[in-house]
Amino acid sequence: MLEKINNLLLEVEAFTANTKEQVEEYRIKWLSKKGEVTALFEDFRTVPNEMKKEIGQKLNELRNKAQERITELKEKFDGTEQGSNNSEKDLTVPAYPTIQIGSRHPLSIVKNDIIDIFSRIGFTVSDGREIEDDWHNFSALNTPENHPARDMQDTFYVSLNPEMVLRTQTSSVQVHIMERQKPPIRTISPGRVYRNEAISARAHCQFHQVEGLYIDEKVSFADLKQTLLYFAREMFGAETKIRLRPSYFPFTEPSAEVDISCTICGGKGCNVCKQTGWVEILGCGMVDPQVLDNCKIDSNKFKGFAFGMGIERIAMLKYQIKDLRLFFENDVRFLKQFTAV
C-alpha cells in the first residue's frame, strides 16, 4: 500500500493538463467518492497498527497535494479564459445589460385612465368585497326576490350559503358607501364582477366594471350628461360626441344607455359600429328614490345619478381589440403590444 501511495504522489507532482476538462477528469480519478485516494482511505482500516502512523501521514500528504494541484490548474485555466474574454470583448456592447421591460395589462391601463379622469372632477375611489350578500347585491338595488337576475343561470351562488353570491356588479360597493356615509357622495367603484355567461368573443363569466355614484342636493340629469360627455372626450378625444337612449335599470329612474360617436370611422359608419356611426359604452340614470330610502338617505332632500361601464368594453374600443378572451389568456404576444403604453 505504501508503494502505491508513493507512485500516486509522483503522478500528482508530474501531472499537467492542456484543458480544463482534463483537470476535471483527474479530479474525478483521484478525489471523487470512487476515486483512488478515497479507495486508499477505505483500505487504511486493514493496515496493521504498527504501520498506521506512517501510512496515515502519507495518505494525508497525497490527498492534500492532489487537491492543491487540481486547484492550481483550475485557477490557471480560469485566468486564461478570462484573459481571452477580455481580449475579445465587443466594445460596441452597451455599458449596462439590456433588460426586458415589462408591461402593464391593458385592463389595468384603462382602469387607471378612468380613475384619473374622474378623480380630476372630485370622484374618490371605493373598493369592496367580491363575495357579497343578497341585500347589497340585489335587494337594496330594487332587484326583488323573483327578479330574473337572481336566477342561477345568470348569477354564481356560493354553495355553502345560498344568501351569498359572487357580485354581479360593483353597485354593491355603492350600497355600502351610502349606508355608512352621509351625502354629499361622489365616488367610483372599479373591480371584478361575475356573471354566469357562456364565454365568447363578446362575453365572459368574469369581467371588470367601473360604477360611479354622485348624491347631493339639487343633482339633475343635466349634471349626469355633462359628466359623461367630459369622460367620453377625455378618454376618446375632444371631438367625441355622445347620445343617450332611454333604457331600464332596476336601481335608476329615468335610465339611459350612452353611445359615443365611433372612434374608428368618425361617425360615418363601419363594421365596428354596424354602420350606425355610434357605439354603446355604458348605462346610467338618476338614482331611484327607493334605493336612497333603502340606504337611509332622505330621498326628499337628496338626489343622485349613477353610471356603470365595462372596462373591457372601453379597452376594446380604445385599442380596437375584437376578442374579449384575449384579456384573460395571458398570451405574451398580445401583452407585449402594450409595453410602451
Average pLDDT value for residue range 149-172 = 81
Q: What is the pLDDT of residue 176?
A: 94
Whole-prediction pTM:
0.67
Q: What is the pLDDT of residues 290-341, one digit of tens each?
A: 999 999 999 999 999 999 999 998 998 888 888 889 999 888 888 888 876 5
| Band of pLDDT at residue 48, cut at 50, 70 and 90 | confident
Q: What is the dihedral of CA 341, 105, 204, 169, to 10 degrees?
A: -100
- pLDDT for 62 beyond 80: no
Q: What is the pLDDT of residues 24-39, one digit of tens each?
A: 887 787 778 777 877 7
Question: What are the residue ranges of helices labelled H in the chain?
Answer: 2-14, 20-31, 36-43, 49-87, 106-119, 134-137, 171-180, 221-236, 289-294, 311-319, 332-335
CA distance 233 to 224: 14
Q: What is the pLDDT of residues 96-155, one digit of tens each?
A: 666 677 778 999 999 999 999 999 999 999 999 999 998 999 899 988 877 776 775 678
Q: What is the pLDDT of residues 3-13, one digit of tens each?
A: 787 777 788 77
> Is residue 115 within 8 Å of 190, Cβ to Cβ?
yes
CA distance 8 to 36: 9
> Is residue 162 within 8 Å of 137, Cβ to Cβ?
no
User: Grid coordinates standing for 300?
Assistant: 326628499
- pLDDT for 88 beyond 70: no
Q: What is the pLDDT of residue 323?
A: 87
User: Grid coordinates standing for 72?
Assistant: 492550481
